[in-house]
Amino acid sequence: MFLRPEKDIGGADESHVVFATMLDSEDANGLWIELNAAKHKQDPTVKLYSVLIPWNQILSVVVGEDDFPPDIRDQARKIGFG
> By C-alpha distance, which of 79, 64, 81, 80 is closest to 4?
64
Residue 70: the pLDDT is 73
DSSP characters over 1-67: -B--TTEEEE-SSS-EEEE-EEEES--TTEEEEEESHHHHHH-TTSPPEEEEEEGGG-S--B---SS
pLDDT at 12 over 60: no
Domain boundaries, the chain: 7-78
pLDDT digits 0-9 by tens, 43-57: 889 888 899 999 988
Report pTM: 0.62
Count of CA atoms in the C-beta half-sphere (13 A) of 57: 13
